[in-house]
Chains A and B, each alone.
Chain A
Amino acid sequence: MTLTAILIVAAALFGIGLFGALSQKSFVMLMMGLEMMLNGTLLAAVGFWAFTLEGAPKGQLLAILVMAVMAVELAIGFALVVAVYRKREADVIEGIGTMKQ
C-alpha cells in the first residue's frame, strides 16, 4: 500500500465519477457521479494525510470537510430535484431544457 497506488485508485474513482456525472440523464444518477468524484477526492485526501504529512491532523480535517461537502451537495441537490420535479415534472436533465436565453 503506497501513496501512488492509493492515488491511482482515487483517480480511477474520480474518472468513473466524471463519466457518470457527464453521461447520466437522471438528476439522482448525476449526483451519484458527483459523489463518486468526491469519493476519489476523499481517498486522495486521506492518502496524502497518511503518507506525506507526518500525521498532521489538518489532513483529517480536510477529509471531514469533504464529507461535509458531500452532505451539503446531497441535501441541496435533492431539495432542488424535488422543487424542479414539482414545477416541471422533470426528473431528467432533458426535462429542463429552458436554461437558455
Chain B
Amino acid sequence: MTLWLLPLVPIIAGAFIATLGDRSRLLLGIMAVATLAATLVLALLGVSQDWTATLVWTDAIRLSAAFVPVSAAVAIMVPTVAIAVVFHATQNESKTGLARLIGLMILFTGGMELVVVANDLLTLLIGWELIGACSWALISHKWRQIDNPQSGLYAFVTTRTGDLGLFAALMALFTATGSFDYAGIQNLGGPLQWVVGFGILFSAASKAGQVPFSPWLFRAMAGPSSVSALLHAATLVAAGAYLVVRLHPYLAEVPGFEATAIAIGLTTALAGGITGVLQDHAKRLLAASTSAQLGFMFVAVGAGYPGIAVLHMIVHATFKAPLFLSAGIAGEAAGTYQLDRLRLGRELPVVAIITLVAVAGLAGLVGSAGGWSKEEIVKASEHTGFWLALSVMAGGTLSAAYATRFQLLAYGRRDKDADSRVTTVPGWVALIGIAALSAMTLILSLLWFSPVAESAAAALDIILPKGSPLVFALSLLLVLIGIAIGVYLVRYRPALGATGSSAAASDWLGLPKLIDIVLIQPADAIARAAARTDDRVVDRGIRGTAAFGDWLARLGDRFGEAATDGIPEGTARLTEMFSHDLRRLQTGLSHHYYAYIIGGVFIIFAILVVGA
C-alpha cells in the first residue's frame, strides 16, 4: 500500500500549496524542495524495497501499482529533475499566482509518478488524466493574456484527442479480459489486440508531440519557461515516450506496432530537426528539438530497445530542462525570444557556460551524456537496418545544427556598437536550479565510461547494443557537419526563420496549416453547416413552438382572460353578494333565527332521508 504514497504526497502537498495564496519565494522554495525531496526519498525507498500497492475499488476494478526496472529509473528521475526545475520556478517566475504555479507543478509531478508506477491501464489513465488537466492549467497559467488560455486549450484538446486512443485501448482490454492489468494485453489476439496496441501508440504519440500532433508543443510554449522545462524534460511529453517504453514488452507482438513506431519517430525526428533549424523563436526551437529527440526514443522502441529509449529520456531530461530554463532567463533578460536579437554572451556569461554544457548534450557531442545515448540509439537502429541508422544520424546532424545555432545566437557576443539595452541579470540563487541540472548532465557524461554504462544497463535490465565503428565514425562526422551548418547559418543567415519562406516553414513545415486545411476547416465548415441547419430547421421548430405558444397565450389572453379572471372575480363577487346577503341574515330578531334553525333542521332531515 505504501507505494500510493509516492504519487499521493506530491499530489496532496501540491494541492495544498496551490491554495496557499501569496507567499514569499523563500517559503515556497523550501516547501517545494521539501515536498519533492520527500517524493524522491519515497521513490528511492520504494525502489530499494520493491514496494507495491493494490486498491480494490470494486470486484471488477482494482488499482495496482508496482515497479519494473524501467519505471523505477523514471520514478527516481522525475522528482530529481523536478526539484531543480520547481526550485528554479520559485526563484524566477513572476510573483503573480506563484503559489498556484508551484503547487500545480508539484501536483503535476505527483500525477507523473502515478503514471510511472501504474501497473494497470486504469491507474495509468487516472494519472494520465491528472497530468493532462494539470498541463492545461499550467500552460494557461498567465491567463490574463488572452492567448495563453487559448494555447492551453489547444494543447489540451490535441492531447485529449490522443487520449481517445488510450480510452479505446482500455475499453478493449477490459472487454476482452475483464481486467485492466497490463499482463492481459499479451494474451489478446485479433482486432482487439490491434486496437489496444495502436490506441496506446496513438495516445503516446499525441502526448510526445510526434507528427502529426507536434504543433501543440509550440502552443505549449505559452506557459512559463519552468513549466516548459518540466513538461518537456521530465513529465508530460516524456510520459508519451514512457508509455510506449513501459508497455513495449506487451505490445511488441502487435503486428505493425514497431514499424509504425519507427515511422512516427523517424518522421518526427527529421521534421522536428528541420523545424528546429529554421525556427527563430528560442523556446520553439527547443520545443521542436524535444519532438525530434522523442522521435529518437520512438525509433529506439520500434527497434526493440526500450531500455535505450529510457536512457535517452533520462539524459534528455537532464539537458533539455536547463536549456528551457536558460531560454527563459534569456528571454526574461532581453524581453524577447527572438534568437537573433538575444546574443547575451556579455550580459550573462555564467548562464552562457551552464547552457553550453546542456547544448553539448543536445548537439550529441562525444563526451556529453546526450551524445552517448544518441549513439546508443544509432547502434540500436543499426540492428534494424543501415538506412534507418543513416536516417537517425541525419537527425543527429540536424540536432547539432540547431543546438549550435541556439547557443551561438542566444549567448553569442553582439557588436559593441549595437544600441544599448537594459537587461535583467538573475542572482546566484536563481541559477541554483539550472546549475544543478547542468551538473546532473555532466555527471551523466560518465556513461561514456564502459563500466558505468554497463552498470546502468544492468540496473535497467537491458543489454546495450553493439554497433560498428564505421557507423560511429560516420555519426561523429555528421555531427560535425551539423555544427558547421549551425555556425554557417548563424554567421550568414542570422535572421533565418524570422521572415520569408523559412519563417513559414519554421512552423512545422506547414503542418498546422495542413491540419487547419484538412481537419479544422472541414470540421468548421461542417459545424457551420450544422449551425445553419440548426438555425434554419431546428430553430424553426423551436420558433414555431414559441410562436404557437405566443399565439396560444394571445388566445388565452383574449378568451382565457375572461375565464381565468372571471372565475376568481366572479367567485369573489358571488361571495361578496352572498356575504352581504348572509350579513342581512343577522337581523337581531330571534324569530328569524328560529326560522334559520328550522330551515337547518329541515335540511338535515332531508339529507338524512336522501342518505337513507
Contacts and interface: CB of A to CB of B under 8 A. Distances in A.
Interface string B547-589: 0000000000000000000000000000000000000001111
B595 interface: yes
Contact of B588 (A22, A25, A100): A100
Contacts of B387: none
Contact of B589 (A18, A21, A24, A93): A93
B594 interface: yes
A30 B588 CA distance: 16
Interface in A23-45: 24-25, 30
B586 A96 contact: no
Contacts of B589: 93-94, 97, 99
Contact of B591 (A22, A98, A100, A101): A22
Interface string B581-612: 00000111111011100100000000000000
Of A18, A21, A93, A98, the most chain B CB neighbours within 10 A belong to A93
Contacts of B586: 100-101
A21 B586 CA distance: 19
Contacts of A25: 591
Contacts of B593: 99
Contacts of B588: 96-100
B587 A100 contact: yes
B599 to A, nearest CB: 10
A25 B591 CA distance: 8
A77 to B, nearest CB: 12
A22 B590 contact: no
A18 B601 CA distance: 12
A38 B132 CA distance: 100
A97 B586 CA distance: 10
Contacts of A97: 587-589
Of A30, A98, A99, the most chain B CB neighbours within 10 A belong to A99
A5 B587 CA distance: 40
B504 to A, nearest CB: 99
Contacts of A30: 591
A25 B589 CA distance: 10
Contacts of B590: 93, 96, 99
Contacts of A100: 586-588
A34 B593 CA distance: 15
A100 B591 CA distance: 13
B594 to A, nearest CB: 6
A24 B588 CA distance: 16
Contacts of B598: 18, 22
Interface in A80-101: 93-94, 96-101
B139 to A, nearest CB: 82
A22 B587 contact: no
A80 to B, nearest CB: 11
Contacts of A21: 594
A101 B584 CA distance: 11
A10 B589 CA distance: 29
Nearest to A30: B591
A21 B592 CA distance: 11
A18 B591 CA distance: 12
Contact of B595 (A22, A24, A99): A22
Contacts of A22: 591, 594-595, 598
B591 to A, nearest CB: 5
Nearest to A99: B588
Contacts of A24: 591
Nearest to B586: A100
A93 B591 contact: yes
A100 B593 CA distance: 11
Contacts of A99: 588-590, 593
A30 B592 CA distance: 13
Given A94-B589, A99-B590, 7 more contacts: A21-B594, A22-B594, A22-B595, A22-B598, A30-B591, A97-B588, A100-B587
23 contacts: A18-B598, A21-B594, A22-B591, A22-B594, A22-B595, A22-B598, A24-B591, A30-B591, A93-B589, A93-B590, A93-B591, A94-B589, A96-B588, A96-B590, A97-B588, A98-B588, A99-B588, A99-B589, A99-B590, A100-B586, A100-B587, A100-B588, A101-B586
Interface of A: 18, 21-22, 24-25, 30, 93-94, 96-101
